[in-house]
Amino acid sequence: MEDDDGGHSGDPGRLLIIGGAEDRCHGAPLLERFVELCGGDAARIVLVTTATGAPDEVHADYERVFRRLGADRTVPLRLRGRSDADADDAAKIIQDATGVFISGGDQSRLRALVGSRINEILLDRHRAEGLVIAGTSAGATAMGRTMILGGERPDVSAAAVRTGPGLGLIPKMLIDMHFGERGRLPRLLSAVALDPDYLGVGIDENTGILVESNAFEVLGSGVVTVADAGRATVVHPAGDGDPITLFGVRLHLLPPGCIFNVEAREATIGPAHDRY
């Protein structure tokens, strides 16, 4: 049986989507949560380092943190191109994982995974077997059906954002990262103005969202910004560099503990508990 998004029905896993620069030293609470979700000392974590230009260093860093948090088994998976992402060896590694972590770097490198055999295995295992998948920075924006590839202009326009196909793990959201620190609200508004069906989700550094079913909870130390242009009035100018007219967009600022229902597009304050 298939669901509305073309995937298999079942008990979907959880997604931990991090805005980048997560704490890896002082307790590393976001990564600790990921290890717990993956099975603690029984976790088998695959670290996808495709986005980074320094895969050995990134693997060593995360392996050290995950080991300190109780996970003794972290396997690196570089996937340098489409042939790697379609290979039997890579498929076997992903099939054996209880959790997959996609590192940061340059998200354009992650386009090699889109539509690949590895992409299909991630989708199937996440939806049908509860595979836990996390991503930080570039690995975070790649989780959407559309991912942000770049754009740093200060205005809201078609030229202010570049997008491309993503991994499709969260079809209804478009993720941006390092959000407050790099002033990326114009970029996110540009993206949702170009496609109002998507929710724009901007995640600060050392902050994450834990996605389960049709809702997510905010974790970490920063704020998550949600831009909803579903009922907005959007008027596109003749030129891509000209400003977009945007009326009635809804903006939500969600500190840790808040819950956002993606289906209903509504935010609530969750019960009082630890921020992480």
Span 137-152, pLDDT tens digits: 999 999 999 999 999 9
Q: What is the pTM for the complete model shown?
A: 0.94
Give me 270's structure tokens.
Answer: 């969750």
pLDDT, position 270: 77
pLDDT, position 193: 98
Cα torsion 77, 123, 100, 203: sign: positive
Q: Mean pLDDT, to the nearest integer, of 80-96?
A: 97
Q: What is the β-pairing status of strands 258-261 and 44-48?
A: unpaired
Domains and CATH numbers, the chain: 15-257 (3.40.50.880)
HSE-up (13 A, CA, CB side) for residue 20: 22
Q: Mean pLDDT, to the nearest integer, of 177-206?
A: 98
- Active site members: 137, 152, 178
Q: Mean pLDDT, to the nearest integer, of 28-56?
A: 97
Distance separating alpha carbons of residues 137 and 20, to the nearest angstrom? 4
Q: Mean pLDDT, to the nearest integer, of 154-174?
A: 97
pLDDT, position 5: 41
